[in-house]
């Protein structure tokens, strides 16, 4: 988990009221960083060795679309800016929204429920209502997790995703399109852990709810290149892989696929 102080998940309880989707598209300024790779594995990003970047955390980010497409890679969560309804708004470094904008995932649209300005401190009311062509509708829309937990604060909130400090180097942030079920929770996000014994790689898949509570996931596909296996009731699957370095991930219909993990078979 990403920090002991980060507690308390945002339970997106089903509102009786219909969600009114706010109008007003906005443009984001990624400040020249290259976009993320549509991929299966992490992508190397050249690290500009400029002093201004020191202290700005490099995080891992995944943007998972409903059709299963994934943009993934490391991102330096630098300060960013965007325009909402003709206003220029600054977003603090080390926030999930700063990282999202910097990763340039494609067109983004926002609504400001606060009073954003050129000061990042005013950005806590910024809300992502579209990434590429996927637009929030009804009670469904874009959410982000840090580690396994749904953040409890807005993505540009300068107090950080859980109100207890901003993103740190190595944090994993996943953006996905939440489809709230009858219980009013989002899809589980998958995590895959591996153990290597000779050429046998045992993968254990856990699915985390909004609060970061995990359960073993049966029926998930663990994939490494062309090889794949399906998890049993304990969430375990075994793959035989040749010597070398491999990347694997877990996916299941109705859940959000895991980050890619590296394994080395000796
Ligand atoms: C439905 C809902 C969503 C839907 C919105 C669907 C849509 N069409 O846009 C989705 C699933 C997308 C969503 C996302 C998030 N939500 Co929400 N959401 C709600 C919920 C359950 C109902 C809101 C509603 O429909 N009100 C009725 C309509 C008529 O009023 P409205 O003002 O027009 O509602 C809009 C705003 O509430 C806005 N909105 C929704 N969530 C958030 C979060 C923030 C920070 C902001 C600024 C605006 C915003 O979207 C609504 C529909 O357009 C409330 C809880 C509640 N019961 O109020 C939480 C709630 C507003 N969400 C919350 C949070 C934390 C988030 C996320 C940051 C969670 C996350 N980790 O990603 C994200 C926002 C990320 C982003 N996209 O930028 C918190 C806000 C806390 C805060 N600090 O202000 C609440 C209060 C839940 C909670 N108890 O923690 N949410």
Q: What is the pLDDT of residues 205-224, one digit of tens each?
A: 999 999 999 999 999 999 99
**Calculated CA dihedral for residues 48, 49, 54, 58, nearest 10 degrees:** 40
* Residue 135 to residue 126: CA distance in whole angstroms: 15
Atom of ligand 1 nearest to the CA of 137: 8
Q: How far is CA 157 from CA 31, 60, 65, in A?
A: 20, 19, 23
Predicted confidence (pLDDT) at residue 49 exceeds the cutoff of 70: no
Pocket test for ligand 1, best of 10, 66, 144 (most atoms within 8 A of CB): 10
Residue 92 included in any domain = yes
Q: What is the pLDDT of residues 224-254, one digit of tens each?
A: 999 999 999 999 999 999 999 999 999 999 9
Is residue 140 domain-shared with residue 233, that is, in the same domain? no
How many whole angstroms from 124 Cα to the centroid of ligand 1?
A: 12
Q: Which residues is 221 bridged to in the sheet? A: 230, 251
Domain boundary among 144, 178, 212: 178
CATH number, residue 174: 2.170.130.30
Domain count, the chain: 2
Residue 105 included in any domain = yes
Is residue 171 domain-shared with residue 74, that is, in the same domain? yes
Is residue 75 domain-shared with residue 168, that is, in the same domain? yes
Is residue 64 domain-shared with residue 171, that is, in the same domain? yes
Residue 7 included in any domain = no
Residue 17 included in any domain = no
Is residue 85 domain-shared with residue 198, that is, in the same domain? no
Q: How far is CA 19 from CA 14, 87, 136, 142, 143, in A?
A: 10, 24, 9, 14, 15
Domain boundary among 147, 178, 209: 178
Q: Which of 177, 22, 176 has the alpha carbon at shortest distance from 111?
A: 22
* Residue 71 to residue 192: CA distance in whole angstroms: 18
How many whole angstroms from 167 Cα to the centroid of ligand 1?
A: 21
Is residue 94 domain-shared with residue 162, that is, in the same domain? yes
How many whole angstroms from 46 Cα to the centroid of ligand 1?
A: 35
pTM over 0.85: yes
How many whole angstroms from 131 Cα to the centroid of ligand 1?
A: 16
**CB 133 within 8 Å of CB 101:** no
Domain boundary among 178, 201, 224: 178
Residue 134 included in any domain = yes
Is residue 153 domain-shared with residue 251, that is, in the same domain? no
Q: Which H or E element spans position 64? A: strand 58-64
Give the domain range for residue 121.
Answer: 26-45+52-178
Is residue 174 domain-shared with residue 193, that is, in the same domain? no
For residues 171 and 48, the model is more confident at 171
């Amino acid at each position: 988990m990403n920090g002991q102080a980060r507690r308390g998940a945002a339970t997106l309880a089903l509102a009786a009221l219909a969600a009114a989707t706010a109008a007003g598209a906005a443009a984001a300024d990624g400040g020249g960083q290259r976009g993320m790779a549509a991929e299966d594995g992490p992508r190397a990003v050249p690290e500009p060795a400029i002093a201004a970047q020191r202290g700005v955390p490099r995080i891992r980010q995944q943007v998972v679309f409903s059709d299963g497409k994934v943009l993934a890679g490391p991102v330096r969560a630098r300060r960013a800016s965007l325009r909402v309804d003709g206003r220029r708004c600054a977003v603090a470094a080390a926030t999930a929204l700063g990282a999202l904008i910097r990763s340039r995932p494609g067109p983004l649209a926002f609504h400001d429920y606060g009073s954003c300005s050129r000061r990042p401190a005013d950005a806590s009311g910024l809300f992502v209502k579209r990434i590429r062509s996927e637009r929030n509708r009804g009670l469904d829309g874009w959410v982000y997790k840090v580690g396994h937990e749904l953040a409890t604060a807005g993505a540009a909130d300068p107090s950080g995703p859980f109100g207890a400090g901003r993103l740190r180097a190595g944090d994993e942030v996943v953006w996905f399109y939440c489809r709230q079920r009858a219980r009013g929770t989002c899809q589980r996000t998958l995590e895959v852990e591996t153990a290597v014994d000779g050429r046998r790689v045992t993968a254990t898949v856990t699915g985390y709810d909004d609060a970061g509570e995990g359960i073993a996931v049966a029926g998930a596909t663990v994939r490494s290149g062309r090889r794949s296996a399906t998890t049993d009731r304990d969430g375990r699957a075994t793959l035989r892989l040749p010597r070398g370095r491999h990347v694997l991930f877990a996916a299941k219909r109705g859940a959000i696929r895991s980050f890619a993990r590296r394994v080395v078979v000796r």
